Amino acid sequence: MITCPACGTSQTEGTRECRQCQADLSLLAEFDNLAQSFYDQGVRLARSEADMETAIRFVVAALALEPEHAEALVVLGKLRAQQERYQEAVSAWQRALELAPEGSLAREKARAAIAKAETLLADQRAATADRTDAAPSEATGGRGARRGQRVVSGVAIAAMLAAGIIAGAFWSRPAAPVPVSTAVRALREAVGAHPALKGERVEVAARGDRIAVTGQVSEPLQRDLVEALARRPAGSARADVSGLRVRPEKAAKALTELLAFLCRGKQGGAEGEARAELLAALADGGVTVDCTDDGRLRIAGSVPTPEARAFVVKAASNLVPPDLVDSSALAVMDEYIEYTVQPGDCPFVIAQRLCGDGRRAAAIREFCAQNAAALQDPRHLRPDTVLRIPKRLLARGR
């Protein structure tokens, strides 16, 4: 479901015009399509190996818009592994295993990544044995020894990955309910042993007949991973992860990078008139993101249309829970005309006269606080009251 930003009416997914006020919802309908477009562009760049950093930015942008895109998670894991950013790789693969249905291509690719990690584990054992049997002398082979140590170190991390992913795969199998104390202990061990959660502050405790998970992690993927692990010991009905947050400064940085990427994206990579319009709107606006002392994500500035505002808020809600998004300072700088209320006017008549459709009265009322106050009692409009009518709502020729 999507909500019309003009009148607040709920709409079915994919709707391009509000059934209540006829506002143009094509930008919001393109939200998921834009994510797929970025994913496709990232895959093309990754396959060509022309610009791996840009490929990663496209895939990350796709996941910011659609966090449950399993294929993008698999690709991101592989790209991060190539960068030797193994903790991020394992987070992506584990999340893909949780999301992708059994028998799907994404799940098979995630399993293939696990198999590769197992191969690296075998290589690590062989490399360790070779180093023990034939250690280079300090005089002639010291540099080679150091290179070997670096290789073994990298493979050792991959080996830890393999163990972590495989443990996560087995852990993720549904199990019968167990006592809360047992589930808490098992979840603590799983979180503590998982390489993708190393150094993160995740606390697990019993709270009545439920498992309470609190603390902070650095990335949304890590929060998703903990949430997936928390569902397993005793079933989703007994796990409460609402107290686990992404560090607000990390979420603010992620959203800032996403918006900057989207603004750059209008140069290419987002085909379609609606997408081009959205990217232009974001580029023309001035949006800033920071975090408050109480851990909320604060979005401020201006965008040209309500649809662009709703898009930004939706993207932020993919990074942190919606109740932690403060968008009260994000204004819509929509162009408007002023209309002076005449004797006998009512909202429906005004909307019909200016917009060609009386049902757009709701959108006029919601446009600004001044209109909302003036139209509070639609049966008793005061003549000479000034209303602001957004130009995008006007009938053609007005």
Give the pLDDT score at 161.
45
Q: How far apart are CA 322 and CA 162, in angstroms?
A: 34
Output the pLDDT for position 239: 78
Q: Give the pLDDT of residue 132.
A: 58
Q: State the pLDDT at residue 140.
A: 45
| Domain interval for residue 343 | 336-393
pLDDT, the chain, mean:
74
100 pLDDT higher than 70: yes
Which range is least confidently modeled, 15-24, 246-255, 267-276, 297-306?
267-276
Pairing type for strands 10-11 and 239-246 reads unpaired
Q: Does the pLDDT of residue 295 top 70, yes or no?
A: yes
Residue 143 has pLDDT above 70, yes or no: no
Say if 346 falls within a structural domain: yes
In this predicted structure, what is the pLDDT of residue 283? Answer: 64
Determine the pLDDT at residue 217: 87
More confident residue, 114 or 302: 302
What's the confidence (pLDDT) of residue 255?
Answer: 81
Does the pLDDT of residue 18 top 50, yes or no? yes
pLDDT of residue 277: 56
156 has a pLDDT exceeding 70: no
pLDDT (average), residues 84-89: 74
181 or 273: which carries more pLDDT confidence? 181
| Average confidence (pLDDT) over 172-183 | 66
Using the predicted structure, report yes or no on whether residue 290 has a pLDDT greater than 90: no
| Nearest alpha-carbon partner for 303 in 271, 269, 325, 279 | 279
Tally of CA atoms within 13 A in the half-sphere of 194 that contains its CB: 34
Of 277 and 373, the one with more pLDDT: 373
Residues 322 and 256 both lie in one domain:
yes
332, 349, 364 - which closes a domain: 332
Q: Is residue 122 situated within a structural domain?
A: no
pLDDT band of residue 103 (cuts 50, 70, 90) is confident
Percent of the chain with pLDDT over 70: 69
Domain assignment present for 315: yes
Which CATH number fits the domain that encloses residue 382? 3.10.350
**354 and 375 fall within a common domain:** yes
**pLDDT level of residue 378 (50, 70, 90 thresholds):** confident
Whether residues 306 and 324 fall in one domain? yes
Domain boundary residue, one of 225, 246, 267: 246
Q: In the prediction, which pLDDT does 159 show?
A: 44
In this structure, is residue 10 part of a structural domain? no
The answer to whether residue 37 sits within a structural domain is no
Q: What is the Cα Rg of the chain in Å?
A: 26
| pLDDT-based confidence at residue 279 (cuts at 50, 70, 90) | low
Whether residues 319 and 366 fall in one domain: no
The more confidently predicted of residues 131 and 369 is 369
The answer to whether residue 153 scores a pLDDT higher than 60 is: no
376 plus 308 within the same structural domain? no
CATH number of the domain at 193, please. 3.30.1340.30
Same domain, residue pair 199 and 271: no
If one compares 96 and 140, the residue with the highest pLDDT of the two is 96
Tell me which of 21-30, 52-61, 76-85, 300-309 is least confident: 21-30
pLDDT at 354 over 60: yes
pLDDT of residue 30: 62
Q: In this structure, is residue 216 part of a structural domain?
A: yes
Q: Are residues 259 and 318 in the same domain?
A: yes
Does the pLDDT at position 274 exceed 70?
no
pLDDT band at residue 270 under the 50/70/90 scheme: very low
Do residues 345 and 316 both lie within one domain? no
Kindly state whether residue 27 falls inside one of the protein's structural domains: no
How confident is the model at residue 224, as a pLDDT? 76
What are the structure tokens assigned to 6, written together? 């003009």
End residue of a domain, out of 214, 246, 278 = 246
Q: Domains in the chain: how many in total?
A: 3
365/341 same-domain check? yes
Tell me if 126 is assigned to some domain. no
